[in-house]
Amino acid sequence: MKIELTVNGERREADVWGGESLLFALRDQLGLPGSKNACEQGECGSCSVLLDGELVCSCLVLAAQADGHEVVTVEGLGTPESLHRVQEAFVAAGAVQCGFCTPGLVMATVGLLEHTPSPTDDEIREALSGNLCRCTGYQKIFDAVRAAATP
């Protein structure tokens, strides 16, 4: 079936199988593999995107449910010439090791800072509690979020 949605500010179309998730559509039909497929059951957050401004696991959204809606993925944030300030903060803080969790964490951070520009440490940890990282132990990720937040 055909779906039409706005992805990173652009009108896009895709031909999807009914049971397909938004994650699969983004990665395999729309040429946007930035969102990751670490678990496909909403337990790791590596597939996180903003759907109409809200942080969601795209593996748990039917592609068909995104028809007519707005999606922002990690590819919509910065460019190689000009990283988004959250992306820069992750790089500078050493928060990127294997990086598989990174797109999801960047999106979760962007989502957090949009609602709460100066979060407390507890607010940061709770906001990121849906994103697993296996490499870093989270410390430098928290450093990155603090650096990107409004002081």
Q: Which of residues 66-125 bind another protein (CB under 8 A)?
A: 67, 73-75, 77-80, 83, 87-88, 90-91, 94, 96-103, 106, 108, 111, 122, 124-125
CB of 133 within 8 A of CB of 114? no
Query: Which CB contacts under 8 angstroms, 24+ apart, belong to 120-127?
Result: 121/146
Sequence-distant (≥ 6) Cβ neighbours of residue 137 within 8 angstroms: none
Judged by CB under 8 A, which of 4, 13, 17, 117 binds another protein? 17
Judged by CB under 8 A, which of 30, 61, 72, 148 binds another protein? 61
Sequence-distant (≥ 6) Cβ neighbours of residue 5 within 8 angstroms: 11, 12, 14, 66, 67, 68, 69, 70, 71
We find the least distance from the C-beta atom of residue 75 to another protein, in angstroms, to be 5
We find the least distance from the C-beta atom of residue 11 to another protein, in angstroms, to be 19
Closer by beta carbon to another protein, 118 or else 126:
126
